[in-house]
Structure 1
Amino acid sequence: MNNAGIFIGEHFTDYTAEQYRQITQTNLDGFFHMTQAALPLMVEQGSGHILQIVTTLAEHANAEFPSVLASMTKGGLAAATRSLAIEYAARGVRANAVSPGITETPMHPPETRAGLGRFHPLGRMGTVADVVGAVLYLKDATFVTGEILHVDGGQMAGH
């Protein structure tokens, strides 16, 4: 599972070259190297599952959360997921992604969580357990490949 990621919310012209390097190295390089190393083994055994954690911001930008670099990198992983799903399906390897909305993690201080919940139609932030449930579903859903599963409290449904 490719879960490495950092988020630095800046207006596009305020990003530094160092922030760009940090975000692209974390969000893209790990995916590339780990997936490239794991795929031959999956192909050899005739089965496997590549899973990415992406972000709803790549599909639905929000003026309150400037996120060009997160959208570019995690959106790229979503596109790569679909490409890998097609490229490796006949060899028994599936590729999927989970696309969480705003999720309760240390990235969001407790005092901000009630306000952040308003961005989801269900009126709350997601939890790590919500994301884990989606990951486990995709692991067991052997007829699902190329899917970007939104775990966002209905956020994408309205857009």
Structure 2
Amino acid sequence: MSNHGQKVAIITGASQGIGAGLVEAYRKLGHAVIAVSRTIAPSADPGVIAVQGDVADRATAERAVAAAVERFGRLDTLVNNAGIFVAKPFTDYTLDDYAAVRAVNLDGFFHITQLAIARMLIQGGGHVVSITTSLVDNADSRVPSVLASLTKGGLQSATKSLAIEYATRGIRVNAVSPGTIKTPMHPEETHEFLSALHPVGRMGEIRDVADAVVFLENAPFVTGEILHVDGGMSAGR
């Protein structure tokens, strides 16, 4: 049964790790959630609608926005969490690496953000948050990351541009820029090395990113912000 007064969030890359943590965080806020991922399973929670598909495919974005509007009558927040990170020396990247990273990190952002903002304009407001990486602002010789900088760096610039474009129309646009977060994508044997990349000497937790996104969700005077959640990486070393 729909509840047109309930706020609704779309979260991409929602099947595990940070994305799954964000689904949980938004449910605790009372939002219904459209959870998007290539591998996501149907949810037993009536407040969570799973949309299975590749975020780089515009049809997936169309289905996600349609699910929010048809089931709940609105769309209040989009969290662009889906992303691919490939750490290789620049000259070792293949055309397949480039195509895959560009498709998810850039095409996926473009398609669903464009459709989401169009819906938010009809409602008179909304919020877009993108998850980037602190390596965009603070390159590290130990972690080659040109494709991340090329794509996620583009998202950070787009965040500021969109924030200004829609500032007078009730739509806020922000980003969270994490350090390395302890998720299933990082095997246990890499944790010591990854912890040492951060001045605080540890990796971040999923809840650190979720808490930052929730802060931005509840901060109506904040837009165009790139919020670093990186254990001090952005401060220097």
Aligned position for 2:103: 25
1:121 Cα deviation (Å)?
1.6
Question: Is 1:76 the counterpart of 2:154 in the alignment?
Answer: yes
**In structure 1, distance between residues paired with 2:190 and 2:157:** 31
Counterparts in 2 of 1:9-158, with a 5 A limit? 9-158=87-236
**In structure 2, distance between residues paired with 1:66 and 1:105:** 20
**In structure 2, distance between residues paired with 1:26 and 1:43:** 25
Give the strand-richer structure, 1 or 2. Answer: 2
1:133 Cα deviation (Å)?
0.3
Looking at both structures, which has the greater relative contact order when contacts are Cα pairs under 8 Å and sequence separation is at least 6? 1
**In structure 2, distance between residues paired with 1:25 and 1:109:** 25
**In structure 2, distance between residues paired with 1:91 and 1:141:** 16
1:114 Cα deviation (Å)?
2.4
1:115 Cα deviation (Å)?
2.6
SS of residue matched to 2:232: coil
Q: Which runs of 5+ in 1 are unaligned?
A: none
TM-score by length of 1: 0.97
The count of corresponding residues between Structure 1 and Structure 2 is 159
Give the helix-richer structure, 1 or 2. Answer: 1
Aligned position for 2:86: 8
SS of residue matched to 2:220: coil
**In structure 1, distance between residues paired with 2:154 and 2:178:** 15
Tell me the percent identity.
Answer: 59
SS of residue matched to 1:30: helix
Q: Deviations over 1:64-112 (max 9, x none)?
A: 1111001110000000000000000100000000000011112211122
